[in-house]
Amino acid sequence: SSDTRDNVNNSYSKAMKEELGVGLEVLMERMRRLTESSIEDMSPEELLKRFQSVKHQSAEITVPSVRKTSPKSELLHYVIDPEFAYTDFTTREPVSEVATFRARDYSWDDHGFSLANRLYTDIGNMLDDKYNMAANMTYYTMGDNREVDTSSFR
């Protein structure tokens, strides 16, 4: 009975690995076709439809068409003064002279590494190693396959 159970478990495990491998191969083939197709020929509406379709297929959930509440009404629960707003600190005429540093303009390589090393010696190297390790855990691997372009999932 123990041998029979082991055989059943081994065949089940083998079937699951084969199914996972097939699913992974299909996913990788879809990704390859998507990257090879010409995006330049598509209109923004077609690109949006395609994105929603891929998002729906990959998550296997329905995409809500209408949001029930606005984000502003949700945030008002946590705000004391609803009229409070960000005001840019610069009042100079030429806007390009002093630009506001926004989060989307931030880069670890350009800004964070040197700042961290300046404030605390050698911490930049340690943080850089941790950052690279975390990035390499997810980038360019899919299952047992290496060197896979996973940028569409980031």
Q: How far is CA 59 from CA 1, 29, 97, 102, in A?
A: 40, 17, 45, 31
92 occurs within a structural domain: no
109 occurs within a structural domain: no
103 occurs within a structural domain: no
Question: Each residue of 110-125: pLDDT tens digit?
Answer: 888 888 888 888 888 9
DSSP 3-state of 75: helix
User: Taking residues 2-10, what's their average pLDDT?
Assistant: 53
Greatest Cα pair distance, the chain, in angstroms, is 85
Distance CA 15, CA 24 (A): 14
Looking from the CA of 68 toward its CB, the CA atoms found within 13 Å total: 1
Q: Phi and psi at residue 96, in whole multiples of 5°?
A: -75, -10
Q: What is the mean pLDDT of the chain?
A: 72
Secondary structure string (H, E, C) spanning 10-61: HHHHHHHHHHHHHHHHHHHHHHHHHHHCCCCCCCHHHHHHHHHHHHHHHHCC
Q: How far is CA 90 from CA 105, 106, 110, 132, in A?
A: 18, 19, 23, 36
Looking from the CA of 109 toward its CB, the CA atoms found within 13 Å total: 1
Query: What is residue 38's predicted lDDT score, i.e. its pLDDT?
Result: 60
Domain holding 11, by residue range, is 1-61
| Structural domain count, the chain | 1
Q: Is the pLDDT of residue 95 over 80?
A: no
Question: Each residue of 15-73: pLDDT tens digit?
Answer: 555 555 567 778 788 877 777 766 666 777 887 887 777 766 666 555 455 556 676 77
